[in-house]
Amino acid sequence: MQKFKQTSSTTITLAGKVYKGYTVGELPKRFAFIYNAEKDQEGITEWFKFKGLTYVEHNPSIWSYV
């Protein structure tokens, strides 16, 4: 089992990657779909739940919004 570090109330660092936690009503639009052909965009297919939040890998980019 890997250890993680909670850097803020909604951010966790695990194995050198940063994960951001969301409540059910705040999940990103790309959550839980594989591919959107209209926008040529891949969805978020990997996540984990911890203490009531759903954590997805946080990849800030100036070209796309999460």
Residue 36 lies in a domain: yes
Predicted pLDDT at 48: 92
* Stronger pLDDT, 12 or 45, i.e. the higher one: 12
Predicted pLDDT at 62: 60
Burial of 25 (0-12, 13-18, 19+ CB in 10 A): exposed
Residue 63 lies in a domain: no
The one-letter amino acid at 13: T
Residue 62 lies in a domain: no
Residue 65 lies in a domain: no
Residue 64 lies in a domain: no
Write phi, then psi, for 17 (nearest 5 degrees): -110, 145
Residue 45 lies in a domain: yes
Number of domains in the chain: 1
Range of the structural domain that residue 34 is part of: 4-57
Summarised one tens digit per residue, pLDDT across range 5-39 is 999 999 999 988 999 999 999 988 878 777 767 76
Instruction: Answer whether residue 64 shows pLDDT above 60.
Output: no
Residue 39 lies in a domain: yes
Q: What is the pTM of this model?
A: 0.74
